[in-house]
Amino acid sequence: MKPLEGTRILSVEQYGAGPFATSLLADMGAEVIKIEDPNTGGDVSRTVIPYAEDQDSLFFQSLNRNKKSISLDMKSKEGKELFHSLVENSDAVFNNLRGDVPDKLGINYKQLKGINPKIVTCSLTGFGTSGSMKKKPAYDYLLQAMNGHMSLTGEPDGPPSKFGLSIVDFSTGMMAALGLMIGISQAQNKAKGSDVDVSLFDTSLSVLNYLAIWHLNKGYEPKRNSFSAHPTLVPSQLFPTKDGYMIVMCNKEKFFNILSDEIDRPDLPKNDKFKDFQARFDNKDELIKILNDIFIKYQTDYWLDRLEGKVPIAPVNTVEEALSQHLVSERDMIVDVDSKTFGDIRMLGTPIKISDFNPTYVEGPALGEHNDEFFENLLAGQKKK
């Protein structure tokens, strides 16, 4: 039996953050039913280029495997009636709409509890379902800018930079999946549902974490550091090698002692300028120059062979190199999924490993592919067992 088998989630979702959240649950066996508007062509991610054709795209497939799709006009009288019939036999209603829309669409707990008192409604929005900005649309890039991420990223003498991936979308999707399952667990224990409110704003702010507590209590104002250096730990940063770059981290005192021995500079920890974290921080420029002059002499593989397993170290890989690492296959992180549009698709597997469960993967659905299954069977009176 799949971990979440028997859990039914109705999802009014589109594009990235929302579908990512429910894909995590679908991989674990939850029945995720995408509700797509037939008047707009369904989830906009079906047409995201560069690899899109016939209302399908590789972008869509990456976020919507193991789901079902029904086409339903939620604004029409008939559509609402069909939706309410589905709610009767579901555990949750999820959406990633603008903050004021769930209430307008009638998909909050207060509007659905009369149909199903145990229903959990979860909204993944830009700025939350309350507050002065709930009506504003939000996107990953905007939140990276608003909540300080870009001010921390890039070289000190360059412009602020965004993260290379939609990290706010993905991290908020994880929070939403967690929040949704907390809500469902609570509903099962208390026989009463609830609203779960998760936003890009709150999540992107929350990951400031230790930087925020430093600032709020001590007035600390972080600045960008050259070569992606840690703000306080030295050496813990990017170093150029003869043929590329690598990260070396000495986040414990013992690692600096080991590093010094391995690069044939056992004298460094004995120098008062470099004897501990504070001394190395105070004399950072001098120490980094010494290390740079040493690391640049040899290729990255040389340093990996010499330091791996002794000091935290990693190469700076390209995406191709990252996907080619031995551990990727050892951890079953690339899977094959058969697709009608694209044939055999290789994509990343679930990062969640359950000891007695081997996930299976089915391609993301066509728009309205499962209309007959639900509109003819479920609404004919069959109840969820």
Q: Assess whether pLDDT exceeds 70 at residue 385.
A: no
What percentage of the chain carries pLDDT values higher than 70?
98
Q: CB-based contacts of 297: which residues, under 8 Å, 6+ apart?
A: 242
CATH superfamily label, 8-207+329-380: Crotonobetainyl-coa:carnitine coa-transferase; domain 1 (3.40.50.10540)
- Per-residue tokens: 295: 């690391």
pLDDT over 90 percentage in the chain: 95
pLDDT at position 382, please? 45
- As a whole number of angstroms, the distance between CA 19 and CA 92 comes to 15
Query: Is residue 18 predicted with pLDDT exceeding 80?
Result: yes
104-131 pLDDT, tens digit per residue, is 999 999 999 999 999 999 999 999 999 9
So where are the chain's domains? 8-207+329-380, 226-240+245-315
By the 8 A CB rule, do 11 and 91 touch?
no
The first and second tokens of residue 117, run together, are 């008192």
Which pLDDT value is given to residue 380? Answer: 59
Measured between alpha carbons, how far is 106 from 79 in angstroms, rounded to an integer?
Answer: 12
Q: What is the pLDDT of residues 44-77, one digit of tens each?
A: 999 999 999 999 999 999 999 999 999 999 999 9
What is the assigned CATH class of domain 226-240+245-315? Answer: alpha beta
CA distance 285 to 283: 6
Whole-angstrom distance, CA of residue 310 vs CA of residue 294: 18
Task: Give Cα separations from 345 to 17, 197, 320, 348 (angstroms).
Answer: 22, 34, 16, 10
Please list the alpha-helical segments (H only) found in the chain: 17-27, 58-64, 77-88, 101-105, 109-112, 140-146, 167-190, 200-206, 209-218, 253-262, 277-282, 284-295, 300-307, 319-323, 326-330, 371-372
Average pLDDT, rounded, for the chain: 95
- Taking only the tens place, the pLDDT of each residue in 185-223 is 999 999 999 999 999 999 999 999 999 999 999 999 999
Does the pLDDT of residue 384 top 50, yes or no? no
Helix (H) or strand (E) holding 240: strand 236-240
